[in-house]
Amino acid sequence: MKETDLKRAYNNVLAQAISTSQKFLFAGNLFGDIFVLSLNELNKATEEPPSKLKVFPQGSDVDINCLAFHRDFLIVGAIGLIYGIQWNEEDETLSTKRVWEIKIPMQVDAVEVPDVNSFYLCSETETLYAGCGDGVVYQIDLEDGRIQREYRGHTDYVHCVVGHPDGRIYSSGEDGTVHFWSDKQKEPTAILEPHKNPQLLRPDWGKWIGAVSVNDDWLVCGGGPRPAIWHLRSMECTRTFEYPGRVHVCEFVDDSVLIGGEHNHVQFYTLNGTLQANIPVEHTASYSSVWQTNPFNFMSIAGFSNKLHILKDFRFLDSKIDMYGNVQDEMEDEDQEDNDEDEGEDDSF
Amino acid sequence: MSTQIAVADATTTKSVNFFALQAAFETALEQAIAENNVEQLTKEYNSFRANSEHDKRSPMDQAFREVLMKRLSDDVECIGALVRLSVDAARAEIVSNTIPVVLLGDTFDVVTLNKCELIFKFVEDLVEVWKEEIFFASCKNNLLRMCNDLLRRLSRTQNTVFCGRILLFLSKFFPFSERSGLNIVSEFNLDNFTEYGLDSKDHDDIDNKELEDTAEDIPLKIDYDLYCKFWSLQDFFRNPNQCYSKAQWKMFQMHADTILQSFLSFKLEDIRQNTDSNGTNGDAGPQAMDVDVDDAAIDAAASIAVRKETNFFAKFLTNPKLLALQLSDSNFRRAVLVQFLILFQYLQVTVKFKIDTYTLTSAQSDFIKETEQRVYKLLEETPPYGRRFARTVQHMLQREEMWNNWKNDGCKEFKKPEEPEPAEEEVKPSPPKRSKRPLGDCLRDAARSGKFYLGNDNLTRLWNYSPDNLQACKSEQRNFLPLLETYLETPHDKSDPAFEWRALRLLARQTPHFFTLVSQPSCKISDYLDVVRIRLTREKELVKQISTTTENVSENNNGLTEPSAPTEQEHDASVALQETEPEPDLEVEDSEPVVEEVDETPSHEKPLMVTAAHIEEITPLIGEPWMKVGKKIGFSNDELLFFQMENPTAGVACMKMLTNWISDDDDATLENWAYMLEGLEMHKAADAVKAIIEREKTSSTQSLSQAEIQPDANSNDVEILSD
């Protein structure tokens, strides 16, 4: 019991993913647990409490830093490795076995194992881009698991990787830069340094860029520096957003920009920089957001708290869903299972 | 025919039985309807002298009802006519007083609702009649029953308008203090369930669960989604007394908090059409709202806005898919917020029929007070005309409180306050009108004096403001077009379409930027204007920089490239001095003084100012009596003395004095000077001045023609010195 209480208090969810069927939400935390939430339950609009979550422990030594979903695989980014586990839609279960595993190569001079901080999955080309702690973005072919290419340029670890199906990749890092890459060029096509813009710099919080997001013409990024919107071709900063905290999440959602981070609200801004919605959250810091517009509008925001925040129309907070303490099996059993799993994992390593 | 004859015979002699009477009355009634006159009927009625009043009246009643039955299929108007006739008949005391209402009631019983709606118009039209003494007492109950019967047939959700008409009629018909129309014991309409995505039996379960949860006092694990929270509130609005139960209150408090939080987190944008009132309203804050002029404008705009809104739903639509739209709809928001206010009011006021146990704890009333403020704030923030709306609601709730107090006091009858005797204000007969001059004369007089006469004093004054109206329009002062830069800098409402439109017009007129493309994330005009403003200022700075740099450059390059005047002057300073200043001297010496009368300078020409060179030239000609000139110019004795003391010779003193003069006085023109000197009979000096005038004129025309070569030689001089 005590362990769950602790977990409840210190639950830190860094990653979420939505299944290809768009029916399930996966949320992974630093305790190595993956929660699965059925989205259809949420859309029923009854006063019945939504059915409880399922939890699939990956072992307490696995920090789930990032998640992606491809075909019927859930791809987990942990420390030094990326692995895939099969999701069985019928039974709604994750297989306990890792189907495949990719180790991130250690640099010659590296002191510690690089962690996988961010995924960008390009499902058209079946390519996964992983931004890692060694400052490299690895391009991984999901067909055979080979590392096709390494994008080297960052001088510190990579926070966030995003891209565009036409082959443009954008990565932001602790070194305060946003690197623009093309899969056809070796060198970065451009480098953006928001902290050099005095308007954006917030000296107390450093120069790191925690999150970046792009659409066809615009890029939004922020972190220690203020979040701002940039024109991709002219590289000009056109709007800054008055988000008061450090930024860990920013995203283009429909016609607006979602910004979250170390603040008790996540905020939606219009592209002009006017505050549209100011949504209170319980997270000490928000770290992850996933959303879909089909078959229904749905967004989940997670972070350092035991609750997933669900938004159904991107404007109002719809509900908050507990994670620990809201799991299908009973408490005692779950704990038991947890321990069992942990042991099992330990053995295998 | 035979019966009629028989009846006719009988009338005089003996009483006739009911049916015969009825038949006779029916025929008479048909005639009366045709003539739309009750006379005929009265005559017929009175002709049966043998029957008692009582005997005759009921067949007459019956006759009316029979005729109505026959004519029901007719036009609606016919029924109206018949009712009106029956009113007259009742006044003539040939039928019972209730008959008009009975007729209407009969009609409503048998016709369709559509027709009822048409026929009800007669009921409404005759409201004054029903209120008359002879009808009110007897018809009151019948009318009420009739209306209630109708209401029962109508659907509250679909026939809202008709229902409203009936209720309005009742409220018009019954006096204020009529208790039957009142909800005296303050009951709630508990049937008004708002159903949403759940069955009612689930409802209880959930409630129980809720109770359990709160009882155990652990934080609720299940956080219902917004949809359920939102609609569950309606149940509290339906039955406010639930709030006095502790568990329910907790739930209410929680849900209300969430909903208000949601409203706060997503503010609605103001998309108002009427921008003029927008500006004053939005910027000026609460004080401007109290200005009458503004109010009038807003009134008009608001009423237009209200009139446009024709949709009305008697019940909430609770489809979950609608929720997002509903929450973003300002009308819906307002409805819900006002519901909150009504609930809070009920909870706070003392109501006679509230059970004693229904009292708020101090925590509850604190919450209510606090939340009430929040709700008002949200109402104010909900466009359009939020502040105004909030004020109106507040006012209405205050009125409601008065009604509540009235009810608590036992619904005392209203009396008009004693009207104060109208002050003996002598209504003065309007002053006898002056015999007016014929219009033609006025016009003729006006035309003669070159003026306009428009028949209205103000208009006439306006038209005669200046001699030539068209010329006046051209004057500089009539140019109200502001500079784009200054206009963009003026404080304005962020998205005031009128401002934007004007700014774009100015933009198109004054800068080429209007035709350049600005790449930008938004297509809002306000943002575009912002960008343009920034560009303009940047450009201005750039121009400044360039001009200074070119100046510097030109200095180095010996001024080969630059066209600007100041640099030229600097470089060719020595040449220019020789060319411009000594020149007049030479010319004066050469030319003969011209003694011609100088024509008055045309008004458009710049007056020729006196310069230092001129003074130098003329001073010797003035000589000793310079003090005279000084006096004429307007120096005081002290000043003249000062000049004398300070300077050794008269010439120098005179020069100082004149220099002083031209630096101070705008009137220091050559013309004035010449005139002055002539007045002092210093002809020599005056002539010299006139000569200078001539010379300057010719040189200025020359310099005009040689503008390219010597642009500023003349005007520069003048301007610098006249400063």
Q: What's the pLDDT tens digit per position in B110-132?
A: 888 888 888 898 888 888 888 88
Domain final position from B358, B385, B409: B409
In-domain check, residue B573 = no
Among the ranges given (A152-161, A206-215, B485-494), the one the predictor scored with the smallest mean pLDDT: B485-494
Q: Say if residue B698's pLDDT is above 90.
A: no
- Considering only alpha carbons, which residue of chain A is nearest residue B225? A319
B265/A326 touch (CB, cutoff 8 Å), yes or no: no
Total structural domains within chain B: 5
- Considering only alpha carbons, which residue of chain A is nearest residue B198? A46
Mean pLDDT of A211-215: 93
SS (H, E, C) A302-322: EEECCEEEEECCCCCEEEEEE
Identify which of A44, A297, A319 has the shortest CB distance to residue B223: A319
Residues B235 and B378 in one domain: yes
> Which residues, including other chains, have CB under 8 Å from residue B293's CB and lie 6 or more apart?
none
Q: How confident is the model at residue B78 (pLDDT cuts 50, 70, 90)?
A: confident
Among the ranges given (A303-312, B416-425, B704-713), the one the predictor scored with the smallest mean pLDDT: B704-713
Q: Say if residue B706's pLDDT is above 70.
A: no
Q: Identity (one letter) of the amino acid at A143?
A: E
Contact at 8 Å (CB) between A109 and A123? Answer: no
In-domain check, residue B495 = yes
Which residue has better confidence, B454 or A182? A182
In-domain check, residue B327 = yes
Show which of residues 183-212 on chain A sit within 8 Å of chain B, judged by CB atoms.
Answer: none
* Beta strands across the sheet bearing A54-57: A13-18, A24-29, A33-38, A54-57
- Considering only alpha carbons, which residue of chain A is nearest residue B518? A238
Residues B493 and B467 in one domain: no
Residues B459 and B524 in one domain: no
Mean pLDDT of B44-48: 81
In-domain check, residue B568 = no
pLDDT in tens, B167-193: 889 888 888 777 777 777 778 888 888
Nearest CA of chain B to the CA of A299: how many Å? 13
Tokens representing residue B445 in the block = 């007089």
What count of CB pairs under 8 Å joins A to B?
A: 88
DSSP B443: H
- Considering only alpha carbons, which residue of chain A is nearest residue B258? A317
Q: Identity (one letter) of the amino acid at A174?
A: E
* Nearest by Cα to A46 from B236, B212, B225: B225
Enclosing domain of residue B529: 484-545
Largest CA distance in chain A: 58
- Considering only alpha carbons, which residue of chain A is nearest residue B205? A48
Per-residue pLDDT, B370? 93
B228/A47 touch (CB, cutoff 8 Å), yes or no: yes
HSE, side-chain direction, 13 A CA sphere, residue B368 = 20
In-domain check, residue B580 = no
Nearest CA of chain B to the CA of A311: how many Å? 9
Mean pLDDT of B99-108: 88
Nearest CA of chain B to the CA of A164: how many Å? 19
Q: How confident is the model at residue A178 (pLDDT cuts 50, 70, 90)?
A: very high
Residues B401 and B455 in one domain: no
Residues B157 and B230 in one domain: no
Show which of residues 275-334 on chain A sit within 8 Å of chain B, judged by CB atoms.
Answer: 276-280, 297, 307, 310, 312-313, 315-322, 325-326
Mean pLDDT, chain B, rounded, equals 74
Residues B326 and B472 in one domain: no
Per-residue pLDDT, B519? 62
* Beta strands across the sheet bearing A190-192: A158-164, A168-173, A178-182, A190-192
- Considering only alpha carbons, which residue of chain A is nearest residue B268? A276
- H-assigned helices in B75-155: 76-91, 99-110, 113-125, 127-130, 133-153
Q: How confident is the model at residue A262 (pLDDT cuts 50, 70, 90)?
A: very high
* Beta strands across the sheet bearing A81-88: A66-70, A73-77, A81-88, A93-103
Contact at 8 Å (CB) between A244 and A263? Answer: yes
A45/B228 touch (CB, cutoff 8 Å), yes or no: yes
Residues B451 and B335 in one domain: no
Cross-strand partners of A173? A158
Percent of chain A with pLDDT over 90: 59
A321/B266 touch (CB, cutoff 8 Å), yes or no: no
B227/A45 touch (CB, cutoff 8 Å), yes or no: yes
Residues of B in contact with A239 (CB under 8 A): 521
* Nearest by Cα to A171 from A111, A201, A214: A214
Residues of A in contact with B264 (CB under 8 A): 278
Query: Where is B552: in which H helix or E strand?
Result: helix B525-556
CA dist A283 and A14 (Å) reads 12
A317/B524 touch (CB, cutoff 8 Å), yes or no: no
In-domain check, residue B453 = yes
- Considering only alpha carbons, which residue of chain B is nearest residue A41? B225
Tokens representing residue B529 in the block = 């204007």
CA dist A289 and A300 (Å) reads 6
Q: How confident is the model at residue A287 (pLDDT cuts 50, 70, 90)?
A: very high
Q: How confident is the model at residue B372 (pLDDT cuts 50, 70, 90)?
A: very high
Residues B22 and B113 in one domain: yes
Residues B51 and B89 in one domain: yes
Domain final position from B518, B545, B572: B545
- Considering only alpha carbons, which residue of chain A is nearest residue B527? A272
CATH number (domain holding residue B686): 1.10.533.10
Q: Say if residue B73's pLDDT is above 60.
A: yes
Residue A235, Ramachandran bin (φ over 0: left; ψ between -120 and 50: alpha; else beta): left
Q: Say if residue A323's pLDDT is above 80.
A: yes
Query: Where is A14: in which H helix or E strand?
Result: strand A13-18
* Nearest by Cα to B118 from B132, B130, B129, B107: B107
Per-residue pLDDT, A205? 92
CA dist B272 and B304 (Å) reads 11
With an 8 Å Cβ cutoff, is A216 touching chain B? Answer: no
Mean pLDDT of B328-341: 90
Residues of B in contact with A238 (CB under 8 A): 520-521
- Provide residues of B within 8 Å CB-CB of chain A: 197-198, 202-203, 206, 221-228, 232, 258, 261-262, 264-266, 320, 323-324, 327-328, 519-522, 524, 527
Per-residue pLDDT, B195? 80
Contact at 8 Å (CB) between B260 and B378? Answer: yes
Q: How confident is the model at residue A240 (pLDDT cuts 50, 70, 90)?
A: very high
In-domain check, residue B177 = yes
Show which of residues 226-285 on chain A sit within 8 Å of chain B, judged by CB atoms.
Answer: 229, 231, 234, 238-239, 265, 270-272, 276-280
CA dist B416 and A182 (Å) reads 86
Identify which of A239, A277, A312 has the shortest CB distance to residue B521: A239
Residues B463 and B493 in one domain: no
Per-residue pLDDT, B605? 52
In-domain check, residue B207 = no
Could you give the 3-state DSSP secondary structure of residue B358? Answer: coil
B522/A272 touch (CB, cutoff 8 Å), yes or no: yes
Residues B118 and B68 in one domain: yes
CA dist B622 and B650 (Å) reads 10
Contact at 8 Å (CB) between B237 and B339? Answer: yes
Residues B649 and B674 in one domain: yes
Candidates B209, B222, B528: best to mutate against A (most CBs of A within 10 A) is B222
Contact at 8 Å (CB) between B177 and B412? Answer: yes
Residues of A in contact with B520 (CB under 8 A): 238
- Considering only alpha carbons, which residue of chain B is nearest residue A313? B324
Mean pLDDT of A251-267: 92
Residues of A in contact with B320 (CB under 8 A): 45
Residues of A in contact with B258 (CB under 8 A): 317
